[in-house]
Structure 1
Amino acid sequence: MPGTGRLLALGDIHGCLAALDAVLDAARIGPDDTLVTLGDYVDRGPDSRGVIDRLIALESRCRLVPLRGNHDLMFADGLATFCRDPDRFAEPWSSPILMTWLECGGFETIESYGGLDAVPPEHAAFLGRLRNWHETDRFLFVHANYDPDSPLDGQPEDLLLWTSLREFEPGPHRSGKPVVVGHTSQKNGEILDRDHVLCLDTYCYGGGWLTLIDLGSGALWQADRGGRLR
């Protein structure tokens, strides 16, 4: 996106609203800034609903580019399943996809809403407009991983959303641009920097930090799930 503001990227939030508010306030996000959020907004942390509320509000505060994470996909699929057949949740074991979501933090997301029947339509609409990738003149952005030999519009969704860097660590992308990702939690709370790959999932929900970075200056803001800045 054109503009004179900063290009920023934000790692996996996982329902940690206090951390999100802390890094946004510290960075003083403005209308000229482009903020690429790398997905996994929901599950595991305490306030998935609040996180989605805040991201929707951010769309009027800056140039927000929200990517889709595997947890956001599971939430959207679970919500669609509930809308089609609410009784399915009485026997979730009958659906492997549904059980995977619930076991990976879906219960916490449902609790934050007070039930899937309380998910606002604007939240469902937000989930529907998430992107699988983003490209600028200097960087590529995906949630999880990529095939270094394929353009972003030719990448398999399983790779973009699900494949950990611990399963497959790709080489440099054929574009020559570094790729900014999340998904693979860095449990030491530090960014993984391989020059051609930068992983910003620093394990906020599990005791690490939420990471926001200015990709132009290298300025960094981190907060824990309680909102304490590092």
Structure 2
Amino acid sequence: MARTFAIGDLHGGKKALIQVLERIDLKPEDTLIFLGDYVDGWSDSANTVTYLIKLARQNSCIFIRGNHDDLAQKWLEGGEMNEKWLEHGGQSSIDAYRTFTHEQIEDHIQFFKDTLNYYRHDNRLFVHAGFTNLHGPDYEYSDKGFYWDRTLWEMALAMDPSIKPGDMFYPKRLAHFDEIFIGHTPVTRIGKTTPVNKANIWNVDTGAAFKGPITAIDVITKEIVQSDPVHTLYPDEQGRN
């Protein structure tokens, strides 16, 4: 039976991604929905994108745009960079692309251009960070919120768990979907290393850029499959400490 997995932030951890795909025993009929942030972290940032491009030739893959992907694309296209980006993983991507040819870089730019701000399927939403418009993501005023905004997750964390769909105070943003899968804000910030479910949101960013693993979650069964902590696969590197 075909399965659909949502996969959290990668941050250049190609070795860990390969582990996850081996551990889920990936089949050609399976669908993979990647929640963004493919680069900026470990030394395999550019190699991770190359791997994803090849993976999409054998499996149905949906690639959501992350904030780090947006920043990397801007640098690849026109050299745009800033100190904040360099401090938060951008330098690892710059270093990773030093040996890439012009043709390879053009392929990667196209990969980033083709990423989606969000993806809907079976009344589920898949987005890197969130959205702010009460009427839903189709009414968002700016694309940046999809891969930068943290308020959707912050709201879910602060909610009284007794408030259910249909209640007067249930947030209108959440009512548009049965489930929402996000990344962007590592659950390690609240002391977790597995996906966290709050209200109807599943946060699948398990801190791969820092001391956590890469995670895949079956969107139907909620089976969780994880890599080893990514930093253990890159013992000579600092990551985003």
Fold equivalence (TM over 0.5): yes
Q: Does 1:161 align with 2:147?
A: yes
Between the two proteins, the alignment pairs up a number of residues equal to 212
Partner in structure 2 of residue 86 of structure 1: none
Moved over 3 A (4+): 115-119, 165-168
How many angstroms apart in 2 are the aligned matches of 1:148 and 1:51? 33
1:40 to 30, 37, 40: 37
Deviations 1:125-180 (A, max 9, x none): 10110000000013111100123622322223232111225884253523232110
The partner residue of 1:49 within 46, 49, 52 is: 46
Letter in 2 for 1:111: D
Structure 2: which amino acid aligns with 1:127? F
Unaligned runs of 5+ in 2: 157-170, 235-241
> Hey, what does 1:62 align to over in structure 2?
59
Which of 121, 130, 133 matches 1:145?
130
In 2, distance between residues paired with 1:36 and 1:193?
A: 18
User: Residues 116-127 of structure 1 correspond to what in structure 2 (within 5 A)?
Assistant: 120-127=105-112
| Kept in 1: contact 2:77–2:109 (CA 8 A) | no
Segment of structure 1 superposing worse, 160-169 or 37-46:
160-169
Aligned-residue sequence identity (percent) comes to 28
Per-residue CA deviation, residues 93-117 of structure 1 (Å, 9 max, x unaligned), is xx7x533322221110111122677
Code of the residue aligned with 1:203 in structure 2: it is G
- Could you tell me whether the CA contact under 8 Å between 1:150 and 1:174 is conserved in 2? no
Q: Which residue of 2 aligns with 1:24?
A: 21
Give the gaps of 5 or more residues in structure 1: 83-94
Q: Is the 8 A contact 2:5 2:219 kept in 1?
A: yes
Question: Relative to 1, partners in 2 of residues 1:186 and 1:76: Cα closer, same or farther, differing over 3 Å?
Answer: same
Separation in 1, partners of 2:21, 2:136: 31
Equivalent AA in structure 2 for residue 50 of structure 1: N
CA distance in 2, matches of 1:165, 1:34: 28
Pick closer, same or farther for the CA change 1:196–1:62 going to 2, 3 Å.
same
Q: 2:93 aligns with which of 101, 109, 124?
A: 109
Distance 1:176 1:27 in 2: 26
Q: Deviations over 1:61-111 (max 9, x none)?
A: 2110000000000001111223xxxxxxxxxxxx7x533322221110111
Instruction: Measure the CA separation in 1 of the matches of 2:153 and 2:200.
Output: 17
Call closer, same or farther: CA 1:222–1:122 in 2, change over 3 Å: same
Instruction: Please state whether the residue corresponding to 1:8 is helix, strand or coil.
Output: strand
Determine the structure 2 residue equivalent to 1:90.
none
Q: Hey, what does 1:222 align to over in structure 2?
A: 226
Matches within 5 A, 1:138-217: 138-147=123-132, 149-155=134-140, 156-165=142-151, 168-169=154-155, 171=171, 173-187=174-188, 188-217=192-221
Task: Find the aligned partners of 1:165 and 1:58 in 2 and give their Cα distance.
Answer: 32
Q: What is the alpha-carbon distance in structure 1 between the residues aligned to residue 130 and residue 155 of structure 2?
A: 8
